[in-house]
Amino acid sequence: MKELLASLPPLLPRQQMLDLLHSQVYGHLPETPEKLNFQEEALPDPTFGGKAVCSIVTAHCVVKGKDFSFPFLTAIPTKAGKHPFFVHINFRPGLADYYQPIEEIIDNGFAVLSFCYNDVTKDDGDFTDGLAGILYENGNRGPEDPGKIAMWAWAAQRVMDYAQSKADVLDLDCAIVCGHSRLGKTALLAAATDERFPFAYSNESGCSGAAITRGKQGEHVSHICTTFPYWFCENYKQYMDREMAMPFDQHYLVASIAPRKVAIGSAAEDLWADPAAEQLCCFAASEAFEKGFDCPDRPAEIGETFFGGHIGYHLRAGQHFFSREDWQKLMQFIQTHYKQE
């Protein structure tokens, strides 16, 4: 596989890679809020048999002088101590366990903080909705202005602001931002642009996420900018059918998380995302990490995990889905690297 690396732009210093990703792909993330406070409401149920306390927290932000708020769920183990925790950027609100097996996560000693991306701004081309409506109050979208992925990433960072106020029960040395597919792209961007996340996990994020674009199968910039142009900044469209002209590729996103740790999960039948292109990205980003990608130079086989380095990869059987198996692999990666080094 490594012979393919020669066709990729070489890694650059982190800030230069981030500048390219901001100006050419995702747009610049919104500024941090001028004011921010959190309102918490503890839920009587569920407690998972007394194992966790769940709350709905509302983040009240002032952005560009205007009020903006969004809710998120917290599920924190009742066991004494500080807990490692996931900031899960989710497709669904609240306690829905599709894509998010909360009890199992708690049983593994982790807390979960999760929000529904549509509560920040809707997953469509309407830039008058939610946070987008505040940023684009005059209706103009400049070439480097944020797309929706950048806004969802910003929201994950606000959840991290909350976590910092809970340092008595959350272990800030083990915050993992994670998501599936479009929200895996978002999780990588959230971690790349915020060093408070010691870990990131992308599940099957594919095109414009963890997959190298050059030479991939399945989705390309031309597809994604036709179907989901609003996920990105306007500049990204210039690379439709011109991917070889991109002065970057997706290993810049993953390498921008270094020296922190990141895991990438693929599903063998998810050819639209392209598992091999995601594995190639791990090779391409490897040298940015203190302990690089620990994987032989060949495509992964189904069921394999390569978790020895600070950039990890697993390939499972099946289709596009954030499965329990992915969560188990993710927790295995974290347990391998958390407090062990």
Q: How far is the CB of 224 from ligand GTR (least distance, A)?
A: 6
Q: How far is the CB of 187 from ligand GTR (least distance, A)?
A: 12
The interface mask with ligand GTR, positions 72-111, x = CB under 6 A, is: ----------------------------------------
Residues 202 to 261 in contact with ligand GTR, rule: CB under 6 A: 206-207, 219, 224
Q: Element (H or E) spanning 61, and its range?
A: strand 52-63
CA–CA dist 53, 183 (Å, integer): 25
* 32 vs 227, beta carbon nearer ligand GTR: 227
Residues 123 to 182 in contact with ligand GTR, rule: CB under 6 A: 181-182
* 182 vs 316, beta carbon nearer ligand GTR: 182
* 202 vs 286, beta carbon nearer ligand GTR: 202
* 126 vs 290, beta carbon nearer ligand GTR: 126
Number of residues that bind ligand GTR (CB under 6 A): 6
What is the phi-psi region of residue 305: left when phi exceeds 0, alpha when psi lies from -120 to 50, beta otherwise?
Answer: beta
Q: How far is the CB of 225 from ligand GTR (least distance, A)?
A: 11
Q: Confirm if 150 and 33 have CB atoms less than 8 A apart.
A: no
Q: How far is the CB of 219 from ligand GTR (least distance, A)?
A: 5
Nearest residue to ligand GTR by CB is 181
Q: How far is the CB of 15 from ligand GTR (least distance, A)?
A: 27
Q: Taking CB under 6 A as the rule, does residue 309 contact ligand GTR?
A: no
Residues 6+ apart with CB under 8 A from 278: 204, 205, 206, 210, 211, 212, 264, 266, 313
* 100 vs 181, beta carbon nearer ligand GTR: 181
Both ends of the chain: CA-CA distance in Å?
29
Q: How far is the CB of 166 from ligand GTR (least distance, A)?
A: 29
Angle of CA points 274, 280, 286, to nearest 5°: 140
Q: How far is the CB of 37 from ligand GTR (least distance, A)?
A: 32
Coil/strand/helix, residue 290: coil
* 203 vs 286, beta carbon nearer ligand GTR: 203
Strands 305-306 and 311-316: antiparallel
Q: Count other C-beta atoms under 10 Å from residue 35's C-beta.
A: 10
* 182 vs 337, beta carbon nearer ligand GTR: 182
CA–CA dist 36, 49 (Å, integer): 33
Residues 6+ apart with CB under 8 A from 159: 59, 72, 87, 113, 115
Q: How far is the CB of 25 from ligand GTR (least distance, A)?
A: 13
State the alpha helices, DSSP H only, in 23-120. Answer: 102-107
**Residue of 328, 334, 337, 340 whose CA lies nearest to 101:** 328
Q: Where does this chain bind ligand GTR (CB under 6 A)?
A: 181-182, 206-207, 219, 224
